Amino acid sequence: MSARQPGEQLTVIASADKEMTIEKWQGRTASRLAGSIRRAADQNFDRDATGYTRVEFRLGEDGRPQAVALARPSSSRAVDRISLRAVSTMGRLTPLPPQIAATSRFEAWIIVASDARERDDMLGRLRTDHRARMMAQAGGDRPVLIASR
Using 70 as the pLDDT threshold, list the residues of the chain that sit under it.
Answer: 1-18, 44-45, 138-142, 147-149
Q: What are the pLDDT digits (tens) for 67-94?
A: 999 999 999 999 999 999 999 999 999 9
CATH class of 20-148: alpha beta
- Parse the chain into domains and list their residue ranges: 20-148
The 8-class DSSP code of residue 143 comes to P
pLDDT at 12: 54
Taking the C-alpha atoms of residue 37 and residue 123, their distance in angstroms, rounded to an integer, is 16
Nearest-Å Rg of the Cα atoms of the chain is 19
pLDDT of residue 118: 95
The whole-angstrom distance between residue 43's C-alpha and the CA centroid of its chain comes to: 21
Whether the model pTM is above 0.85: no
- The pLDDT assigned to 1 comes to 47
Helix/strand/coil percent split, the chain, to 5 = 40, 25, 40
